[in-house]
Amino acid sequence: MDLYTYYRSTSSYRVRIALALKGLDYRAVPVNLIRDGGEHRQASYLALNPQGRVPTLTTDEGEQIIQSPAILEYLEERYPDVPLLPTDPLARARHRSVAALIGCDIHPLHNVAVLNRLRSLDVGEEQVMAWIAHWVGEGLKAVESLIGDEGYCFGEPGMADVYLLPQLYAARRFNVPLDSYSRILRVERLALAHPAFQTAHPDAQPDKPE
């Protein structure tokens, strides 16, 4: 498999974690979102992903899948031996609730396209940072109340953690305060000591600038 990725893209980071947890081999194909106006805007990449975003997964059969939720569900169904979702339907729903909260209600509001649009409307940088802190804080407050008191989000590493760790990386990039989220910080400590999460971390990616 080929994963078209950018080192600090939270969506790409999710997929890298899932691939590492499942022990799957893949080739990372860096797509620089900044250089030369963004390689994601070039015709060669748009032929793979018409939306012009990362990640894109090329399967072993040569098919392309875009959007991290679809890629993660594909990996879960295609490679079920190391599951990211438990067997119990209610437990699966709890993982998916956290994943959707982060993927649908937090991350899109600080996506680079949204922030650039705000800036194009003459919103000042201080207001942009306040926007990010508000929406990330609102979302993480809900996540804190939903996850468990021991282990990862719901015990063993799973889909909720795949979404949470990249969101925390983004929160720290934007200097969003995290001290009040004791459960979330517990999960982060555990994950940062786990080899799969370490392998997937932005700092471990070959396209991270020196």
Q: What is the mean pLDDT of residues 39-48?
A: 92
Burial call 52-69: b when 16+ CB within 10 Å, e when fewer: bbbbbbbeeeeeebbbbb
pLDDT for residue 39 is more than 90: no
Q: Whose CA is closest to 206, among 83, 15, 56, 29?
A: 29
**Global confidence as pTM:** 0.95
Q: Whose CA is closest to 95, among 107, 84, 106?
A: 84
Average pLDDT, rounded, for the chain: 96
If you search the block for the tokens 């997964």, which residue do you land on?
57
pLDDT for residue 196 is more than 90: yes
Q: Which helix (H) or strand (E) holds 57?
A: strand 56-58
pLDDT for residue 204 is more than 90: yes
Distance of alpha carbon 159 from alpha carbon 163, whole angstroms: 7
pLDDT for residue 35 is more than 90: no
Percent above pLDDT 70 for the chain: 100
Render pLDDT for 144-189 as a digit per residue (tens, 0 to 9): 999 999 999 999 999 999 999 999 999 999 999 999 999 999 999 9
Can you give the pLDDT at residue 36? 80
Q: What is the mean pLDDT of residues 200-207?
A: 97
CB-side exposure of 97: number of CA atoms within 13 Å? 15
Render pLDDT for 106-153 as a digit per residue (tens, 0 to 9): 999 999 889 999 999 999 999 999 999 999 999 999 999 999 999 999
Can you give the pLDDT at residue 57? 98
Distance of alpha carbon 210 from alpha carbon 206, whole angstroms: 10
Using alpha carbons, list the distances in angstroms from residue 60 to 1, 3, 50, 78.
5, 11, 20, 11
pLDDT for residue 22 is more than 90: yes
Q: Whose CA is closest to 112, among 11, 2, 4, 18?
A: 11
Can you give the pLDDT at residue 176? 96
